[in-house]
Amino acid sequence: MAQSATAYFDKAMKKAEAGNTKGAIADYTKAIKMNSHFVEAYQNRGVAKYKLNDLQGALADFTKAIELDTMNSDAFTGRANVNYKLMNYDATIEDCSYCLMMNPKDYVALNLRGLCYNKMGDKKKSCKDFTKAIELGSQSAIKNRATFCK
């Protein structure tokens, strides 16, 4: 009996949870081959590739997930993380700002955008984002504000 895209996706999730990232990527790829519009499979494969430091692969998967679902804030956050690692700070800020338009309480996006502003030398915007992220419950932003906003 042939497995469905959903069955491969479920197998991939189990492998990812068990720490078998490469196995998870293989099953997400099978799910995508069977259903080229499987947003969650692209997104999760992007996360797995990011974990393995395949940044270009992760970037491509998050971008595809966004093309298929422009309201997928998790894919925007994922792509923002990749772009930050690649030092594409303008692109990171753009994705974080889009996330915050969809969900103003996304303190992960605020903190990441704050880090970008810091890297670009805009201390005022950076500290403003860290402060807002702290108000929303971010632990990382507490450390970042203490470090960068003296």
Tens-place pLDDT, residues 54-88: 999 999 999 999 999 999 999 999 999 999 999 99
Q: Pick the closest to residue 112 from 98, 133, 142, 143 (CA basis).
A: 133
pLDDT of residue 40: 97
pLDDT digits (tens, 9 = 90+) for 94-126: 999 999 999 999 999 999 999 999 999 999 999
Q: How many residues does the chain have?
A: 150
Using one digit for the tens of pLDDT, what is the confidence trace for 25-41? 999 999 999 999 999 99
Q: Which of 41, 102, 48, 50 lies closest to 80 in space, CA to CA?
A: 50
| Residue found by looking up tokens 């491509």 in the block | 60
pLDDT for the residue numbered 150: 87
CA proximity to 96, closest of 68, 117, 67, 119: 117
Average pLDDT over residues 32-54: 97
pLDDT of residue 2: 60
Q: Quote the CA–CA distance of 68 and 112 in Å, as a whole number.
A: 24
